[in-house]
């Protein structure tokens, strides 16, 4: 398994994207709204230097997971902060260190941007939350309410 920095379009265009995306949205959905990612907006952020992505590939070059990092200004602290927009690893590849490799790559991207902070979010009560509690400091708690 290897991580490759790739353009966001390579994730959208991969033959594995539909399967990975369905798995992602089924397991990680928190807003009770049908997911409909805007490729156009992702690509605008990427062209503006505000988005970086990477894929985790099998030895046969199959996309098994991905991360998407968005860099935004933090208005309270006047710093750039890295937000992990998407972090996904197919269930078939969750054994071993593959997920940790994706997390380390996210941190590396954030450092390259000079971000002193990286922000992860995940569904409450998930396996991902348990992992994050071991690796990172809990900062904010998020609450949502559907209005439509």
Quick one: 89 exposed, middle or buried, by C-beta within 10 A (0-12, 13-18, 19+)?
buried
CA atoms of 86 and 65, how far apart (whole Å): 10
Contact assessment for residue 53 and residue 5, using Cβ atoms and an 8 Å cutoff: yes
Nearest to 54 by CA among 43, 44, 68: 68
Regarding pTM above 0.85, the answer is yes
Residue 112: C-alpha distances to residues 52, 69, 71, 134, 141 (Å) = 11, 12, 11, 24, 27
Domains along the sequence of the chain with CATH: 2-135 (3.40.630.30)
pLDDT digits (tens), the chain, 148 positions: 999 999 999 999 999 988 888 887 777 676 677 778 899 999 999 999 999 999 999 999 999 999 999 999 999 999 999 999 988 888 888 888 898 999 999 999 999 999 999 998 888 888 888 889 999 998 888 887 878 7
Residue 126: C-alpha distances to residues 29, 109, 133 (Å) = 11, 25, 11
């Amino acid at each position: 398994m290897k991580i490759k920095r790739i353009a966001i379009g390579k994730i959208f265009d991969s033959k594995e994207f539909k399967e990975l995306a369905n798995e992602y949205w089924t397991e990680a959905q928190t807003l009770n709204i049908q997911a409909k990612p805007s490729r156009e907006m992702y690509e605008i952020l990427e062209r503006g230097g505000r988005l970086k992505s990477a894929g985790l590939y099998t030895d046969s070059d199959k996309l098994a997971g991905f991360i998407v990092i968005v860099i935004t200004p933090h208005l309270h602290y006047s710093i750039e902060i890295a937000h992990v927009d998407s972090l996904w690893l197919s269930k078939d590849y969750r054994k071993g260190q593959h997920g940790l490799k994706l997390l380390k790559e996210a941190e590396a991207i954030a450092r390259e941007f000079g971000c002193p902070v990286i922000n992860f979010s995940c569904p409450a009560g998930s396996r991902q939350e348990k992992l994050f509690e071991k690796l990172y400091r809990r900062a904010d708690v998020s609450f949502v309410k559907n209005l439509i």
